[in-house]
Structure 1
Amino acid sequence: MLDDFKRTCEDHTSPEWGYYLYLCTLMEREPSYVDRLTIEVEQIFKMHPDDSMLFWVLLFLKEEYYQKPAERLEAVRDWMRYDNSPYFYLEAYYLIWQDPYLLTKLGTFETRILYWTAKWGVMTRDIAIQVTGLVAGKKEYHPFLYRILEACYEVKPDDEMLTTVLGYLIRSQCFGAKYHHWYELGIEREIRITSLYEAYLLSLDGRKLERVPKMIQMYFQYDSGLSWQQKAVLFVNIIAAKKIQPDVYQKYLPIIERFAMEQLEAGHVDDNLAVIYDEMFAQGIINADIAHWASEILFTHKVICTDSRAAKIEVYEYACNNADNKEAVIRNGAAYFTVHTKDYCLIMEDIYGNRFCGDIGYYEEPLMDIDGCVKKCMEFAQEELPYILYSMQQKGGEEVDDPDFPGVWAVLKSPLVSDRYKRDVAEQVISFYRKRKYEAGCLTGLDHKLLSTASRRMLMQYLTEEHLYETAYRMAEECGYEHMDTAACVSLCSYAIHTAGFEEDDFLLGFAEYVFYRGIYNDVILIYLCKYYNGATKTMAEIWKAAGEFDIDTFDLEERILSQMLYSTDYIADVEDIYESYVKGGGRELICMAYLSYFADAWLVRDMVVPEYVFEQIFVRYQEGNPLNDACKLGLLKYFSEKEHLSDVMYRASDELLEEYTSQNRYFDFFLEFEKKLRLKYHLYDKAFVEYHTDPGRKIMIHFSLDGEHYEQSLLNEVYDGIFVKEFILFFGESVLYYMTEQEKTEEKITESACLNCRNVPDEESHGRYEMLNDMLMHHAMGERDAQKREMKQYYGMQMVTKEVFHIL
């Protein structure tokens, strides 16, 4: 086979050729031949310095390697920095196995080789002896080194090796439960090594109870450098074995008591301390200081979380202020928290800040016997808030009673208690006081802002019934009065009005208005409302009506009602009675004129039905010569136009007013309703008017046609605010088609269309030219040609006489 490879291999510089040369040295051991091939292999290795096979071959060919194991081991050490081939582990182990003294230190390389040795179970006693000397200086823990020592002890299980293992563990501070068996074995073997007893307790599993060796019990009967957690482990084990070792328990009891008090004062708690505290309370060891220190610790709960996602918990307790919500970090799947009542919830949070309420599995329970301990502690610390909260929630749905009140007031005043819980307690207190009919003065200290609407109503009602008006009114100012009974509102409001000396106050005025709306009131409330109330016109009218039943002076209220109605144009049904009462009370002329003007305008513009007395009073003022505005004068004139018969004074007034407005060229459609004499006097007999009503100041165009085909347009004249008039002269049978347009923003809108007809029948007593023309048209329409010709001759003769007699100046 070697000959075949020699013939076929063409590359004599390849690693395979180098390995072939190594095999040749095994076949032929002549020294000069071996040296020559070794040199050739070295040359090939220089061309392939990373080839593991060539390096391994040289370990057996180079003289300095196979004759000097130390140099050979050093070469392997250097090579294994880059190559972890099992062949080199085996080669290094072989060298150490042959000569353990080659192990002069425990570096990284040596640790790797020894760990490989331990892993494959090929540790020897000689190697273990050598390791014993080297590990003495090691102070840092390394899992490989611990495994090496375990393997060493397996092949050399004597006290010397055990001492080496214990020393290493103590120096590297390895006090976990997994190392406890070493310390336990050291105590059994009575190994003399510093800190062994402390290490035994430090490594003791706090979750297990086991009998503590007597040597440990004696050693720690006096003070030691243990942490409180490890002392607690020791004492719990002593308590657990008190029936088996009662003498040890009795010796340690004073130490345990002193330790428990120190830890209570420091506020420490865990599973072991909870057992110690329970034992202390069971022994009756308690005083005021202990009760005070235990007020928080007693209520500690432990939560065990089965989900690895959970990093911490937040505790939300109904009775506690939200600002004081508690947090606890979860360590090794467990956390501790404090709650005083049963109404709470736990929120889990993972390392990313995500929160979970019901998706993460957990189990929680109190650490201590809360019921038994609280009863004993409350004898010494009744004023402690945690005890009070716990005892109150133990009552369940029962109401508070006399013995509870010291604690109740402490709860209501504490900033640590949530508002919602205070509200529940306060409501029970109010109900209790009312049922027992106790003095209500104590309730004035309640923070009524916390109460629900129903409770505020109950408290304000009770305070008012007990005539504690000042507190009740202060509550009303801060919380409102809407939830009080009507009778209580009347009583409280009347008190407040008297207390204020009937001075104006916005809140009190609103209170009085609210009471009035409820439908039950008294004269005090009505007097106050009559003096100061300004509100809806209808409401003021209702107040006026109610005040009339109590014979209260309503003059100021009447003036406010009338003024507001005139400005708001909010008409009310009782306005006539209110005005009449106001006038009887000596109402101001300005208000009276505004009132009369309002109705006159409404009558003129909107054809509103207006009481007769309005025009009667306007007429009186007109006769007295008092100045009147257009609304009053035109309203009076329209009123006269609808009279079937005018008295002499009315006729004269109508004459004067017609003269005034026609002289101003201001005509209205109702002018045509006057009797014939006035129409003739002011040349109204030949006129027809188109009257249009809208908002004042608008631009109104009339589009009209006399022949029904061609339309003209004209701007309407605004003769009064909102009244526009166009004048036409029409003869018998003529008509005008028209429509109105209003300008709205950018467009014109048609708002009205109609036809104006002239149906004036000529009067036989009238012989003016207009009547004569009307006669001609009427005869023509009726086919009376002879009568038409007579009228035409008569009209022509009148026209000729007029030309002869009258000349234009």
Structure 2
Amino acid sequence: MREKILSLAKGNFIYETPKLCLSIEKLVFEVTAGTHGTASFLLENSFGTRVKGFGTVEEMCIDFLPFFDGTKNELTVDVDAGELNPGEKLKGNLDLITDCGEEKLPYEITIVSPVLRDEEGEIRDYPTLKKRIEKNPEHGVDLFLAPEFRDAFLYRDESGRILYDCLLKKNTKLQSLEEFLVAMKKKKAIRFETEHPSGRELIYELDGIDKADAITIRVNTWGHAGIHVRTTADFIEVQTHVLWTDEFVDRRDVLEFTICADKVPAGRRHGDLILQTPYEKKVIHIIAHNRIGEKERKIQRARKKAIAMAIRMFLSYQEKRVTREAFGKFLKKNREILEKISGTYEQAVRGYIAVILREKENILSFFQETENLKMPPLGESLEEVENYILIQFIKIMDSERKEDRIGLANLISSYAENGYQSDLLTYLLTQVDERYRFGHLLEKDLRTQLESGSNSPLLYSAMMLAYREDATLISSLDDVTINAVNYGLKRDLTTKEVSLAVSFLGERLPHFDARVFSILQKLYEFFVMTDTLHGICGMLIRNEIRDAKYFSWFEKGVNKHLRLTDLYEYYMYTIDTEKVRTLPDAVLSYFQYENHLNDRCKAFLYAYLVKHAGERPEVLEAYGEQIHKFVERNLAHHRITEDLALLYEACVTEETLTKEMADDLSEVMFSHRITCGNDRMDGVVVVHRETKEQTYYSFENGQAVVSLYTPNTQLFFVDERGLYYSGTVDYRMEKMLSMEKLAPVCYELGARNPKLITHLAYKAERSAKMTDMQAVVLQDALQMDCLRRKMREKILLCLYDYYHREGMAEPLFSLIEQFNPITLKRERIADVAADCIAQGKYEKAQVMLLRYGVPECDKDAFSTLVEALVKEHKDESEPMLVKWALYLYHQGCAGKDAMKYLRRYYTGDLITFTSLYEKCRKMPEVGADEDITERLLAQVLFVGASQEPYEPIYLEYMESGENRMLVKAFLSQLAYDYVVERQELSEPMFVKIEKEAMYEKDAVMVLAALRHYRLEEHFASKQKEFVEMNLEKFASEGTVFAFMKDYIGKVNVPFEIENTVIIQYYSGAPGEILLCETDRDGKVKKTMPMRQVFSGVYVYEMLLFDGEEKYCYIEEQTTGERTEVMCARRTEQAKGALGFFHMLNDMIAAKNTGDMELYGSLRRRYEKDRFAAKKLFTLQ
């Protein structure tokens, strides 16, 4: 600007200012909400020359204050959309103040929602994002992790941001993406199925060769999950141990595996192929059959089965459970098989069958065959001895001679003394030895053999028969006795006496024996004896067995009114609370007076009484005191179960609640039970949107009791590796207590649990009209460090509104200290800022209003702030402060200091500047000082605006202004505009120009004065002298103007002016201005350059004789613009004009009129004068 003023002061004028050229007609672009956005445009002029200037904008969200000085200027607009919402539009004008004039560029800026982008374009919604992820999971992860994702997809979604942050903190990137999409309900959780023609049980027949097979795995949806593969047997070998679902083709993959023949021994082996994700498990059972030796194994199994069947039938006959006839039929039917499988004992078996069937011929044959059978000597095999003894026993069966029995008994004993011991020999001895008529001897010898490791049914049968005869033989419940009694139960050989003996001993066992208990169960089921029931219950109580599966025994004991210590307690310990509907009166009466139950059972009992209070109110009343003590004690330990929850709700009321109970109740009040069936989950993390805490609860039997004190919760299930799952894990949640109505009561009683306060704060901030107590709650909530920022801001704003409504100035002032000016909610900035201003907290208010809210802020308060700030920054220009002061000016409420600030620092369009100047002049306390006047006048000149409206300001400044260069520049520009006929002169301005012309001799001033004088008919002597002198001077310099011809006949005019036709043209175009002479038809005859006599002024002088005409037009060489064709002709010259040109012209006129006398006279004179001139001058 200074450069142009100096140029004008020196007389350098520009006739035609180049036009501003902008690359756009309107600045239209979009900015993402919550971010900064920029846009640029180019500024140049129509001549392609340097453009100098600056830009401004009044919109506070836009930063545009460029200074430029170049031929092509790229200007950038910066928009702060940090507090703007999607859908909002900014409309207005950018002001461009340049030496080529002023221009207003309209803008329309639309605030849009954040957008995620990639090389394929914008991703504005989840369906589009899902397509990208399906197409390329790795690229999908990159998009998910991009900072723009949070802004685009989680814009103002606090719950979504919590979910996003927690998952990324704990999980892998792909797993986080999968869990996020499922939790946000944007995709299904991955589930898989296995496909095989044989289903889920695969059988493989092996012939020494490995078998390869495969299972097809199909998933229900796209996504990322690892299907982990393991086996329970080494003969199953899998190709891979992990299948990743994002690598599936068409949502399918194949798991190949091999059955290794060398790891399957002869026979069948079983194993499982287990496929598992974090969400589910599939088990495929595999059976591998090695056929080697299959035939031999079948024969062996058949032989064992036949032997076992034969022994069972033999013992049934011996135990008199089947008749001889029935046994005989069995033997007869299976004779061939029995003889075949008998091996060494075939002959004996054949003889035994003949004896049983009473087949005389076969018996005779048997005796004949064995008549000469020699007794095996010592040293012979046990098998030979057994066969010999068995043959002898069969013979005795037929002869039944006593002496033979005695002899055989002695023989068996003799062999036994020499080391021949076996189950068969011992059994045969029991059948022939007379000693065994005494049961205790029989029991003793059988026990000895059985304790040595025998497990023969022959011996157990013999022992059980002995117990049937004499139950007193049962003296202990060792392994032998237990096995014997068990055998008797299976073979239906037990008696009541045996049952009593076993029951008596069982009740007194020092430890719990599952086999004995099983026997007692069977005995009770068989005989239903009270003693046995007593023994069963006694064993369980003494060994403190409390499993629910034993409840039925205690129930039977209670129903039988057994006199057994702790029977009723164990009835309660083992009761299935889900199944039992009614408690016996005996139980209710028993615990009324003596109650040593554990807390779980007490809770169930008391809850039962509460549930059935309508049926038995007198019983509940009798329990009243102990129930209330129980409730208080458990509440003090913060325990919670379903039964305790019922008791709390029944016993804890507003009337009974104490301060101590209030503290404890607030700990359990918000309890919920979460049940998760996924055995891979170790626990659950609970995150509330209102607090920063993440609380972990471990699972016990798939359950956890968690505290949910607001509905805004996020659950993350945690597996054994610590990974988080949300949305993909199935669970069930039950609310355990419904006592939130007592939350305010607890608070009033002094409870200050953070859960309670957060719960009440959540309720309060959502309340339509806050109560006094809620205000106190919110005050307490502000003291907690666990609140999230947004919750804290909500509370602050709720209290702010409450204090305003109640007119509580002091708390309000204190509260405002706690507001964070950076994060305060946009909609409330204006109100809070106004209160900050009222309290003198200008810095905080300034930070708030710099974000947003100036238009909504109370105008008086805002004016107070601006007044204070401009005083503080009076010696420095702050762009935003200028905008604020200007905003107040437009609103008509700017104070004096704001106006002074604008007076000193405003830069902008000329109209606003002029208006501001006038306003300052009208405010005595502000005034329009010399500085603003200089800047205003300078801008008028800089932008090339019309000076006429500013002449009064200029005239005033001219008298006392210090910047004389500006004075001269303004006057020079005005003079120039008058000279080139762009502006008329007012009388006061002419006076100033005339003075400059007379005394300073400035060319433009002189020309302006000459043009102004041309209209006068008479001149004072001084004026005439001034005119004639300057006309002569300019003519001699070649500076002639068309207006100078107006002086002809008034003063002495130079020949060049008087006798030429002056063609004058104004142009600011670069290059030559051409005068093109044409004939009458418009054809160009010749072209002559016009002469520039002054800035923007071009002339061409023609000497034409009387009646001569010339046709021509003017053309700008660079622009191609041209005028219409015009005719130049000579007008009549002034009378008495002298000179050769005039003589010639007069002779031509006299001849044309036929005045030959005058023509001759003029010719003689012309020749005489020309002769004299030739003597005096040398003509070139």
> Shorter-chain TM-score category?
0.5 to 0.7
TM-score of the aligned structures, taking structure 1 as reference length: 0.62
Q: Which residue of 2 is the match for residue 794 of structure 1?
A: 1162
Distance 1:480 1:553, change over 3 A: same
Alignment partner of 1:429 is 2:800: yes
The equivalences for 1:503-514 within 5 A come to 503-504=875-876, 506=878, 508-514=881-887
**DSSP-derived class of the 1:241 partner:** helix
Q: Percent of aligned pairs with the same residue? A: 16
Q: Which residue of 2 is the match for residue 762 of structure 1?
A: 1132
Q: Deviations over 1:408-435 (max 9, x none)?
A: 3344565614537734752563464355
Alignment partner of 1:549 is 2:922: yes
Letter in 2 for 1:240: A
Distance 1:658 1:408, change over 3 A: farther
Letter in 2 for 1:422: E
Q: Which moved more, 1:488-497 or 1:284-293?
A: 284-293
Q: CA deviation at 1:324?
A: 6.6
Q: Which residue of 2 is the match for residue 375 of structure 1?
A: 745
| 8 A Cα contact 2:685 2:716, kept in partner | yes
Q: CA deviation at 1:296?
A: 6.3
Letter in 2 for 1:320: E
| 8 A Cα contact 2:1063 2:1101, kept in partner | yes
Alignment partner of 1:240 is 2:610: no
**DSSP-derived class of the 1:691 partner:** strand
The equivalences for 1:72-83 within 5 A come to 81-82=288-289
Q: Which residue of 2 is the match for residue 617 of structure 1?
A: 992
Q: CA deviation at 1:515?
A: 1.9
Q: Which residue of 2 is the match for residue 445 of structure 1?
A: 817
| 8 A Cα contact 2:761 2:777, kept in partner | no
The equivalences for 1:616-765 within 5 A come to 616-625=991-1000, 628=1002, 630-643=1003-1016, 645-676=1018-1049, 677-695=1051-1069, 697-698=1070-1071, 700-705=1073-1078, 708-731=1082-1105, 732-743=1107-1118, 749-763=1119-1133, 764-765=1135-1136
Q: CA deviation at 1:557?
A: 1.7
| 8 A Cα contact 1:453 1:483, kept in partner | no
Letter in 1 for 2:858: D
Distance, in Å, in 2 between the alignment partners of 1:251 and 1:658 is 130
Letter in 2 for 1:589: R
Q: Deviations over 1:109-139 (max 9, x none)?
A: xxxxxxxxxxxxxxxx99x99xxxxxxxxxx
| 8 A Cα contact 2:1075 2:1090, kept in partner | yes
Greater relative CO, 1 or 2 (CA 8 Å, sep 6+): 2
Q: CA deviation at 1:354?
A: 11
Distance, in Å, in 2 between the alignment partners of 1:384 and 1:656 is 102
Distance, in Å, in 1 between the alignment partners of 2:1059 and 2:549 is 138
Q: CA deviation at 1:583?
A: 2.8
Q: Deviations over 1:458-496 (max 9, x none)?
A: 445456667777876675566564323334444444455
Distance, in Å, in 2 between the alignment partners of 1:657 and 1:295 is 106
Q: CA deviation at 1:769?
A: 4.0
Alignment partner of 1:805 is 2:1173: yes
Alignment partner of 1:409 is 2:790: no
Q: Which residue of 2 is the match for residue 419 of structure 1?
A: 790
Distance 1:78 1:260, change over 3 A: closer
Q: Deviations over 1:530-556 (max 9, x none)?
A: 344444333332233223333344222
Distance, in Å, in 2 between the alignment partners of 1:242 and 1:663 is 132
Distance, in Å, in 2 between the alignment partners of 1:300 and 1:684 is 114
Q: CA deviation at 1:607?
A: 0.7
Letter in 1 for 2:918: K
Q: CA deviation at 1:390?
A: 2.1
Letter in 2 for 1:237: F
Q: Which residue of 1 is the match for residue 942 of structure 2?
A: 567
| 8 A Cα contact 1:704 1:738, kept in partner | yes
Distance, in Å, in 2 between the alignment partners of 1:349 and 1:567 is 72
Distance 1:705 1:237, change over 3 A: same
Q: Deviations over 1:611-662 (max 9, x none)?
A: 333332122133333x74x544444443344555554444444444444444
Distance 1:651 1:273, change over 3 A: farther
| 8 A Cα contact 1:180 1:200, kept in partner | no
Alignment partner of 1:400 is 2:770: yes
Letter in 2 for 1:601: Y
Distance, in Å, in 2 between the alignment partners of 1:332 and 1:773 is 134
Distance 1:461 1:262, change over 3 A: same
The equivalences for 1:174-189 within 5 A come to 182-184=549-551
Alignment partner of 1:320 is 2:690: yes
Distance 1:496 1:778, change over 3 A: same
| 8 A Cα contact 2:684 2:697, kept in partner | yes
**DSSP-derived class of the 2:1132 partner:** coil
| 8 A Cα contact 1:692 1:724, kept in partner | yes
Name stretches of at least 5 consecutive residues in structure 2 with no aligned partner. 1-205, 210-264, 271-286, 312-452, 454-485, 491-513, 526-535, 537-544, 558-567, 611-615
| 8 A Cα contact 2:569 2:596, kept in partner | no
Match of 1:299 among 643, 655, 670: 670
Distance, in Å, in 2 between the alignment partners of 1:98 and 1:262 is 67
Match of 1:581 among 924, 949, 956: 956
Distance, in Å, in 1 between the alignment partners of 2:882 and 2:835 is 23
Q: Which moved more, 1:601-610 or 1:347-356?
A: 347-356
Distance, in Å, in 2 between the alignment partners of 1:762 and 1:288 is 123
| 8 A Cα contact 1:538 1:572, kept in partner | no
The equivalences for 1:41-190 within 5 A come to 81-82=288-289, 97-98=305-306, 182-184=549-551
TM-score of the aligned structures, taking structure 2 as reference length: 0.45
Letter in 1 for 2:813: G
| 8 A Cα contact 1:209 1:237, kept in partner | no
RMSD after superposition: 6.2
| 8 A Cα contact 1:295 1:384, kept in partner | no
Alignment partner of 1:608 is 2:983: yes
Distance, in Å, in 2 between the alignment partners of 1:518 and 1:413 is 41
Distance, in Å, in 2 between the alignment partners of 1:417 and 1:761 is 96
Q: CA deviation at 1:355?
A: 9.0
Q: Deviations over 1:174-203 (max 9, x none)?
A: x9xxx976454677799xxxxxx9999999
Q: CA deviation at 1:518?
A: 1.1
**DSSP-derived class of the 2:751 partner:** coil
Q: Which has the higher helix share?
A: 1
Alignment partner of 1:390 is 2:597: no
Distance, in Å, in 2 between the alignment partners of 1:473 and 1:713 is 70
Q: CA deviation at 1:282?
A: 5.7
| 8 A Cα contact 1:300 1:338, kept in partner | yes
Q: Deviations over 1:438-473 (max 9, x none)?
A: 445335425163555664444454566677778766
| 8 A Cα contact 1:292 1:381, kept in partner | yes
Q: Which residue of 2 is the match for residue 517 of structure 1?
A: 890
Distance, in Å, in 2 between the alignment partners of 1:766 and 1:304 is 126
Q: Deviations over 1:199-248 (max 9, x none)?
A: 9999998877778998xx99x9699xxxxxxx86x565344334699799
Q: Which moved more, 1:75-84 or 1:366-375?
A: 75-84
Alignment: residue pair count: 653
Distance, in Å, in 2 between the alignment partners of 1:796 and 1:203 is 162
